[in-house]
């Protein structure tokens, strides 16, 4: 039941993470949104993720993971149920902000729970758990394009149903309360915040999330600007990027049994730089699918493996440490979305240039990974 609760929560978050990128073309057409407004909407979602992650770590360490999962899933269900009732830019931004709050709580709580279930093989367990993020991310654009006829209203209500089911599962699951050894203690905050390892890990997540969510939110728009039909662009996102994340984490879970997490994240960062650069250089839907799939595989192990490294380094106040690092990741989401939106402002064709920030940040990740080795 613990694994089911964590997996279903991550699946729902995967669906909500892909929601904006999937419905953004429809929203842009219906409400005549500019690329700058699209960037602001993505920023509002990121702001919700940031604010939630700042506070949820201590809440989880003090009250337990069950409270976090139920709260995060309930807020996500409410947000996607309200999204079809939006009547313009401001209401869309408000609902995405609420969705971000729910998502930030879910990610921290589910990964903290997964980190506790198998502490001896934390990286393997978290990569397996986050396969369900890839499944959720695959399901949203696939269902929208192939089963719902790009109907964003039906898609949002479907995601809300899954979120409600996940709330019920988390509520009845026998998730243990925090022990005295794990619980939040205010006097110990300094020992957590004073370690450079935490901040380097947080920087790695900052850069990684900026890249990953940049693909989720902007790839479909970029492909459409290159002349790819919308349905095909959505399928590139689902069958390419989302499946790449899924298979990449499945493969990484095996590799991490015998290879260190730092080595895996270093190799993945190098491959990210190469694949994301090449992904932006093609107009062919088939080549774009192949390169996007490879980019997804390259990115796949970085988030869960970095979270696992933090769990290993901070056996006490794990939720707080993970929450701080994940907050940094959401700040990366906010920064990249704003930068991409501003560079492409007023001209969707300029997304190709704007998205070059993705391979650029991947190269910086390589340097951060090397720095982490001296603080391990």
Residue 299 sits in a domain whose CATH number is 1.20.1250.20
Please report how many Cα atoms fall inside a 13 Å half-sphere around the Cα of residue 162, on the Cβ side: 20
Identify the band that residue 190 occupies on the pLDDT scale cut at 50, 70 and 90: low
User: What is residue 181's predicted lDDT score, i.e. its pLDDT?
Assistant: 45
Classify residue 216: in a domain, yes or no: yes
Q: Which domain holds residue 260?
A: 2-170+189-372
Classify residue 184: in a domain, yes or no: no
Classify residue 321: in a domain, yes or no: yes
Classify residue 247: in a domain, yes or no: yes
What is the total count of domains within the chain? 1
Classify residue 180: in a domain, yes or no: no
Classify residue 183: in a domain, yes or no: no
pLDDT in tens, 220-242: 888 888 888 888 888 888 788 88
Mean pLDDT to the nearest integer, 68-86: 90
Classify residue 315: in a domain, yes or no: yes
Mean pLDDT to the nearest integer, 176-194: 57
pLDDT in tens, 78-137: 999 998 888 888 888 999 999 999 998 998 888 888 777 776 777 888 888 888 887 887
Classify residue 195: in a domain, yes or no: yes
User: What is residue 206's predicted lDDT score, i.e. its pLDDT?
Assistant: 94
């Amino acid at each position: 039941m613990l694994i089911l609760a964590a997996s279903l929560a991550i699946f729902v978050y995967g669906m909500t993470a892909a929601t904006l990128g999937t419905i953004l073309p429809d929203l842009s057409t219906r409400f005549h949104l500019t690329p700058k407004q699209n960037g602001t909407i993505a920023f509002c979602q990121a702001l919700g993720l940031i604010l939630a992650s700042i506070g949820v770590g201590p809440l989880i360490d003090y009250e337990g993971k069950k409270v976090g999962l139920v709260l995060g899933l309930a807020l996500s269900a409410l947000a996607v149920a309200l999204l079809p009732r939006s009547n313009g830019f401001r209401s869309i931004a408000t609902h995405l902000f609420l969705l971000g709050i729910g998502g930030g709580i879910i990610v921290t709580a589910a990964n903290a729970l997964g980190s506790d279930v198998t502490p001896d093989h934390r990286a393997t367990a978290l990569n397996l758990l986050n396969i369900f993020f890839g499944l959720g991310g695959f399901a949203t654009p696939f269902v929208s394009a192939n089963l719902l006829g790009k109907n964003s209203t039906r898609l949002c209500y479907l995601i809300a149903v899954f979120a409600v089911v996940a709330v019920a599962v988390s509520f009845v699951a026998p998730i243990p309360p925090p022990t005295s050894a794990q619980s939040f203690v205010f006097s110990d905050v300094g020992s957590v915040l004073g370690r450079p390892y935490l901040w380097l890990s947080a920087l790695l997540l900052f850069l990684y999330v900026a890249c990953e969510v940049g693909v989720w939110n902007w790839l479909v728009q970029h492909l459409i600007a290159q002349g790819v039909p919308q349905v095909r662009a959505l399928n590139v996102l689902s069958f390419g990027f989302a499946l790449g994340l899924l298979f990449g984490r499945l493969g990484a879970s095996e590799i991490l049994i015998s290879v260190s997490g730092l080595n895996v994240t270093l190799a993945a960062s190098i491959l990210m730089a190469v694949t994301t650069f090449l992904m932006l250089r093609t107009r062919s839907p088939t080549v774009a699918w192949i390169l996007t799939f490879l980019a997804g595989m390259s990115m796949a192990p970085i988030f869960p493996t970095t979270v696992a490294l933090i769990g290993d380094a901070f056996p006490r106040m794990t939720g707080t440490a993970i929450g701080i690092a994940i907050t940094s990741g959401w700040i990366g989401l906010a920064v990249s979305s704003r930068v991409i939106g501003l560079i492409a402002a007023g001209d969707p064709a300029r997304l190709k240039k704007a998205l070059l920030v993705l391979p650029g940040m991947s190269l910086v990740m390589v340097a951060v990974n090397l720095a982490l080795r001296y603080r391990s």
